[in-house]
């Protein structure tokens, strides 16, 4: 087995190769220094993968990383790999998981169909809607990224874990079991892509340290609304934690209400503090029997 990493996921791919104790295959992503003037992607594998089972790790965000995934997968196949496991740590377009309005593309399905072209199976992490897995024409599994956050929260010590909405309750419950804390949740209503409203609820957090756990932080609107509620109810410390940290738009400003922001390495950012390499290594070992 050998591990190949796309440029969106190099630290995680290297960490995974170390966890599995298998070689990491370097690749080059620029034909000329500075890349192509029109922004097109380029990939070249710098070591042989002939006859190998290749694990290709590439988050599909931002959009050029999707093209890079296709180039890498095709190059791996052309170079004679006998088996390809795709690891897509953050599956972009997962939130367009149905046709909300007639005529729309079901973007999650579009991505699934094309990612599957060169792959024998897929592992992805903490997805918005697990039903998306059925859209892949190959074996596809969801791996939880929550244990990485749970371990961190156990090490720093928090009094309560909070899900900012219904969708995150399963995540908060899993993190709480690992961190050894109770958990609670808020009811959230999304007004538009940037604005959310939470239903007032007494949380018993006065003087406490609370971690909010979510799958994704995008604009930070969800987390900051929950964090303001916690602070208003007397929480002394609020940690914002997520598996996938997109941090788009005014996210950094919105998140200033939080005392700490923690994300995993499914998307590399200034807030990446924990690695999900052990989670993917375990899932791969299970997959391979």
Catalytic residue among 173, 188, 208, 256: 188
Region at 98 (left for phi over 0; alpha for psi -120 to 50; beta for the rest): beta
Q: How many of the chain's residues bind ligand R5P (CB under 6 A)?
A: 13
Interface with ligand R5P in residues 171-210 (CB under 6 A) = 196
With 0-12 / 13-18 / 19 or more C-beta atoms within 10 angstroms meaning exposed / middle / buried, residue 133 is: middle
Asked if residue 125 binds ligand R5P (CB under 6 A), the reply is: no
Asked if residue 229 binds ligand R5P (CB under 6 A), the reply is: no
Binding mask 128-167 for ligand R5P (x = CB under 6 A): -------------------------------------x-x
Shortest separation between residue 143's beta carbon and ligand R5P, angstroms: 17
Helix, strand, or coil (residue 185): strand
Q: Radius of gyration of the chain from Cα atoms? A: 20
113 is annotated as an active-site residue: no
To the nearest 5 percent, what fractions of the chain are helix, strand and coil? 35, 25, 40
Question: In this structure, are residues 126 and 148 in contact, taking their beta carbons and an 8 Å threshold?
Answer: no
Question: In this structure, are residues 54 and 77 in contact, taking their beta carbons and an 8 Å threshold?
Answer: no
Asked if residue 124 binds ligand R5P (CB under 6 A), the reply is: no
What are the CA-CA distances from residue 28 to residues 6, 14, 182 (Å)? Answer: 10, 15, 47
The residue among 81 and 217 lying less far from ligand R5P, judged by its C-beta, is: 217
The residue among 95 and 139 lying less far from ligand R5P, judged by its C-beta, is: 95
Asked if residue 85 binds ligand R5P (CB under 6 A), the reply is: no
- Judged by CB under 6 A, the residue of 19, 68, 214, 265 near ligand R5P is 214
* Residues in contact with ligand R5P by the rule CB under 6 A: 165, 167-168, 196, 214-222
Active centre residues (catalytic): 188
């Amino acid at each position: 087995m050998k591990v190949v990493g796309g440029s969106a996921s190099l630290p995680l791919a290297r960490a995974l190769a170390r966890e599995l104790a298998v070689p990491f295959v370097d690749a080059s992503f620029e034909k000329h220094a500075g890349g192509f003037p029109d922004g097109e992607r380029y990939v070249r594998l710098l070591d042989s993968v002939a006859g190998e089972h290749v694990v290709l790790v590439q988050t599909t965000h931002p959009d050029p990383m999707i093209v890079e995934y296709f180039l890498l997968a095709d190059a791996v196949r052309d170079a004679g790999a006998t088996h390809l496991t795709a690891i897509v740590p953050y599956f972009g377009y997962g939130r367009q998981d149905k046709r909300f309005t007639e005529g729309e593309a079901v973007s999650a399905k579009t991505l699934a169909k094309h990612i599957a072209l060169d792959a024998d199976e897929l592992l992805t992490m903490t997805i918005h809607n697990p039903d998306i897995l059925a859209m892949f024409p190959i074996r596809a599994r969801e791996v939880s990224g929550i244990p990485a956050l749970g371990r961190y929260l156990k090490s720093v010590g928090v009094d309560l874990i909070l899900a900012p909405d219904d969708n995150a309750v399963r995540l908060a419950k899993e993190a709480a079991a690992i961190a050894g804390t109770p958990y609670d949740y808020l009811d959230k209503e999304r007004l538009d892509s940037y604005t959310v409203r939470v239903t007032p609820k007494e949380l018993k957090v006065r003087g406490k340290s609370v971690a909010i756990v979510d799958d994704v932080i995008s604009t930070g609107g969800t987390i900051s609304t929950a964090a303001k509620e916690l602070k208003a109810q007397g929480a002394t410390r609020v940690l914002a934690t997520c598996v996938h940290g997109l941090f788009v738009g005014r996210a950094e400003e919105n998140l200033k209400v939080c005392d700490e922001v923690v994300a995993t390495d499914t998307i590399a950012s200034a807030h990446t503090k924990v690695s999900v390499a052990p989670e993917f290594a375990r899932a791969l070992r299970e997959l391979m029997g």
